[in-house]
Amino acid sequence: MKGGILNPDNGFEAAVKNFLKDVMEKADIDALLLPFKNAVGDSFEWRLVTADKLAEASVVPPVIAVNGARALSSITRSGKSAMKIAALMRPCEARAAIELSKLNQCDLEPVVLISMDCPGAMPLQDYIADPEKVEKEFEHAAREWNNELIRPICRMCDIFTCTESTWCDADIHVALPETENNAVAFISNTDKGREVLEKVGIGREEELGDWQKKMNARIEERKAARKKAREELKQHVTGLNSLSDTFGSCINCQVCRSVCPVCYCRQCLFNSVKVHYAPDDYLLQAESKGTMKFTPDTLLFQTGRMTHMSVSCVGCGACEDCCPMDIKVAQIFSIAADETQKLFDYIPGKRDAPPPLRVYNEQELKEYET
């Protein structure tokens, strides 16, 4: 892995902000999309700003309140603009943005998408309850790898960085202080990224071997953690009955759907008449099963959404963060997504991979034919 290394004087946060300032000045960028602490101080929000507001931005906020892809989509999805934006976000957010761009729900043409090494995020509810405490914990947790206070979905995430084995298709990736001397490194993944780095005068040919070695070791750790989580979760979701129990506490608020960055429908199937049946049908079902739970479609909602999302799920954890019933939605979805994505050899958020619904491959799904 090669990139350009900067040795910051005042820590990485200042280095990244300086870099963003340079990008704005030298690479003809009109605005920056960055996370900021909200006015009340109990959460973070995305703001489209000019360079003079940079100082207040949070480069690595402790929580993901709104997924960055949703913010970027809301700016770019309706029509073209000559305005150029640089957006800095976590790898899962950048991948969701790329996934949305494939569905024409986000236009990446005017965007320089910048991802960064992600230490994980803290549970949103914890932060709202006591921001100060969680901020301190995050500072500590970010330094100490795999701290137990980090969200479980993050502790099983293996695409938290950008190395040769774990690609992240943002234009530029920022490698945070794991390099020698606490340096910050910039890696370009696309022609656009290379051009920007050239304009701001950051080299691209410095070896990042040490950093990569360290990251590779962490990726292996995460892969093992993911495998373990998978085995544990499997016990709770195999078969209709255990699946039904796992999602049993679902109150059908559907907030997981609302916050999902890639849940792309304009109107949800589960709000439509398509899932409403005649009273007779419900009575028949109740009769044949002996009993029936109402409202009827909570499990159908969860499994249906899983079917819809699992090809594109980037494991950002937004659904789990906001579930009022503490269901392990993100962990279950993410693990199920692994299987679906493997089935179609598809990696969500990879730029040149067309969504499986768009391509026909005569050989695919052979194992399901009878």
Partner 1 sequence: MKGKIGVFICECGPNIAEKVDVDKIVDEAAALPGVAFVAKHKLLCSEDGKKFLKEQIEEHGLTRLVIAACSPKAHESTFMKVCEEAKCNSHLFQMANIREHCAWIVENKEAATEKAIRYVKAAWRRVGYHEPLAKKEIAVNPDVLVIGGGITGIEASLLLAHADRKVYLIEKSDALGGKVNEFEKIFKNMENTADMLAGKISDVEKNSAIEVFTNSSIEEVVGFLGNFTVTVNKKGERTEIRTGTIVVATGYDSFDPLKAPKYGYGKVDNIYTGREFEVLNKSGKIVGKDGKTPQSVAIINCVGREEMGYCSGVCCLSSIKFARYIKEKLPETEVVNFYREMTLPDKGYQKFFEDTQEKGVNFIRVKSVTVDNSDKGPMITWQNDNGDEHRNVDMVILSAAMTAVNDAETIADMLKISRDETGFFLEEHQKLAPVSTATEGVFIAGCAQGPKNIKESLVQAGAVAGRILSLLIPGKKLEPEVRTSYISEAYCIGCRMCLEVCNYGAICFDALKHVSVVNEIICRGCGNCVGSCPSGAVQTKQFKDIQIHQEVVEVLR
How far is Cα 71 from Cα 115, in angstroms, rounded to an integer? 15
Q: Between residue 275 and residue 294, which ones bind partner 1 under the rule CB under 8 A?
A: 281, 284, 288
The minimum distance between CB 340 and partner 1, in angstroms, equals: 14
Pick between residue 102 and residue 173 the one whose CB is nearest to partner 1: 102
Q: Binding to partner 1 by residue 103, rule CB under 8 A? A: yes
Q: Binding to partner 1 by residue 10, rule CB under 8 A? A: no
From residue 258, how far is each of 153, 267, 270, 328 by CA, in Å?
A: 19, 11, 12, 16
Do 162 and 91 touch, CB atoms closer than 8 A? yes
Q: Could you tell me which of 303, 323, 313 has the C-alpha nearest to residue 264?
A: 313
Count CB atoms within 10 A of the CB of residue 297. 15
Question: Cα 104 to the chain's mean position, in Å?
Answer: 18
For partner 1 (CB under 8 A), the number of binding residues is 19
The H or E element containing residue 310 is none
Pick between residue 36 and residue 277 the one whose CB is nearest to partner 1: 277
The minimum distance between CB 309 and partner 1, in angstroms, equals: 10
Do 161 and 215 touch, CB atoms closer than 8 A? yes
From residue 327, how far is each of 50, 80, 135, 246 by CA, in Å?
A: 39, 39, 24, 8
The minimum distance between CB 186 and partner 1, in angstroms, equals: 32
The site map against partner 1 for 35-74 (x = CB under 8 A) is: ----------------------------------------
- Stretch in the footprint of partner 1 (CB under 8 A) among 198-206, 228-236, 266-274, 313-321: 266-274
Q: Which residue type, as a one-letter code, is found at position 273?
A: V
- Stretch in the footprint of partner 1 (CB under 8 A) among 9-17, 35-43, 168-176, 351-359: 351-359
Q: Binding to partner 1 by residue 308, rule CB under 8 A? A: yes
Q: Binding to partner 1 by residue 296, rule CB under 8 A? A: no
How far is Cα 337 from Cα 117, in angstroms, rounded to an integer? 22
In the complex, which residues of this chain contact partner 1 (CB under 8 A)? Answer: 78, 102-105, 264-267, 269, 274, 281, 284, 288, 308, 355, 357-358, 360
